[in-house]
Amino acid sequence: MKVGPEIVTNNLVFGYDTGYPSATNAQSLRFNKGEPTVNISSTHHASGHNSGGYGNVVTVVDAPEKGDGWKKVTISNRGSNFRILQWTYTSHTSNVVYNHSAIFDWGNMRDKGYFLGFDGNGGGTRNYFQNGDESTNAGGTINSSLKDGKFSSNITKSGTHVHAWFINHSTTGVSGLNDYFYYNEYQVEINTHSTPYTSGTRSSTQGLLDLAGTTDIDVSNVSFDSNAQLSFDGTDDHITINNPDISADSFTIQMVVKPDSYSNNPMLINPNSTGIDQYIRIWSNGQIGGVFVAAADTSGDTCRSSTQLSTSEYTHFTITKSPSAIKVYINGNLETTVTPTVSAAAWTGTWDIGQRANNTYNYNGVIPILKVYNTSISADEVKINFNSIKNRFGI
């Protein structure tokens, strides 16, 4: 199975890639689906606002020249109401945050006095965000500063009301226009931030798919930040996967990590076997590595980096195990080699990602990429994988 031209795929038995930050290889874009959500919009089409006979003339047609799903909206007459066109009203539950989002190409609408905003009944708190930046209220004025791309907005009401997106203009009664824009992937969801588009429901096992194509990854026990990025909260967040069926003698675990903290010696991976005493972790001094034992409650082999991880930077980490050597690589470079002194037990049973299997040593941070190979991959293969992501993560 080909999962992208830039990564090593031979002997890959499990993995995921959240696709965040923006991915540069096809496998990330293919396998990341996004945070579980429900698109509650009853229609994905805008239409002229003429419920009061206002005389707005608006056409909405398919725009195949832009690609699948795109619509072209043309305004040829602004009637007697400042609200010219709208998307479908959504019923709103009191004190619940609703997020609306779509992708826009603003055509020739810029700097003509148009603005996008919520309307309906019951007032409410509204915020508008450009291109996925959901930390800054950008407003909805369609001018030269409003970029093409994703636009989203939140609304919270204190009562049970209805609301909708509208395109508005303060000057009414103008005919003979040819003002137009394009949009796609209109979505309404109950959330404080937008997530990738779905036409219906994206369940907890549909958001993140296994790169090897063998496992459903359940993300119901992890958090998502304002960028809809999968994250671990350091309290109880974790992912549990079925036994990836790797050899006891030779395997590789590779990941990109950015911890928010590591003072509690968090565990990143822990197989639910051998007394849950084998693991990948970050020690409280910032070093990252693994521990391998032959039996529960016994000493074994530890191999850890010399590098201390930064809480403000992404790090590409690889640990390879073979009968003759355990090796740790940081950002594609070999840092530590340990000769095994014990015959380590197999990493069997379910695996917990983001904690020890007894819900201790919880990890606080992100793991946007994880790969497990049923072999000890070579130094060249480690470098291939690192080179495929280094620019994406600014390493």
| Tally of residues, the chain | 395
Is residue 160 located within the same domain as residue 25? no
Are 43 and 35 in contact by the 8 Å Cβ rule? The answer is no
Are 102 and 185 in contact by the 8 Å Cβ rule? The answer is yes
Are 100 and 152 in contact by the 8 Å Cβ rule? The answer is yes
CATH code, domain carrying 53 = 2.60.120
Is residue 153 located within the same domain as residue 229? no
Phi and psi torsions of 359, nearest 5°: 65, 40
Q: Which two tokens stand for residue 215?
A: 């496992």
How many domains does the chain divide into? Answer: 2
What is the residue range of 311's domain?
12-33+205-393
Residue 308 lies inside a defined structural domain of this protein: yes
Is residue 234 located within the same domain as residue 375? yes
CA dist 393 and 329 (Å) reads: 17
Residue 38 lies inside a defined structural domain of this protein: no
Is residue 165 located within the same domain as residue 223? no
Is residue 137 located within the same domain as residue 254? no
* Torsion sign, CA atoms 132, 134, 139, 144: negative
Whole-structure pTM value = 0.74
Is residue 116 located within the same domain as residue 236? no
Give the angle 311-317-323 at the CA atoms, nearest 5°: 145
Residue 1 lies inside a defined structural domain of this protein: no
* Alpha helices (H) along the chain: 26-31, 379-393
Per-residue pLDDT of the chain (395 residues; tens, 9 = 90+): 333 335 788 999 999 888 776 644 444 433 456 788 899 986 668 999 998 899 999 999 999 999 999 999 999 999 999 999 999 888 888 889 999 999 999 999 999 999 988 887 776 677 777 655 556 666 778 887 888 888 888 888 777 888 889 999 999 999 999 999 999 999 999 988 888 888 888 888 877 878 887 777 889 999 987 767 789 999 999 999 989 989 889 999 999 999 999 999 999 999 999 999 999 999 999 999 999 999 999 999 999 999 999 999 999 999 999 999 999 999 999 999 999 999 999 999 999 999 999 999 999 999 999 999 999 999 999 999 999 999 889 99
Among 11, 1, 5, CA closest to 26:
5
Is residue 51 located within the same domain as residue 29? no
CA dist 231 and 120 (Å) reads: 35
Phi and psi torsions of 45, nearest 5°: -120, 140
Report whether the peptide linkage leading into residue 21 is cis, meaning its omega lies within 30 degrees of zero.
yes
CA dist 211 and 231 (Å) reads: 19
Is residue 284 located within the same domain as residue 386? yes
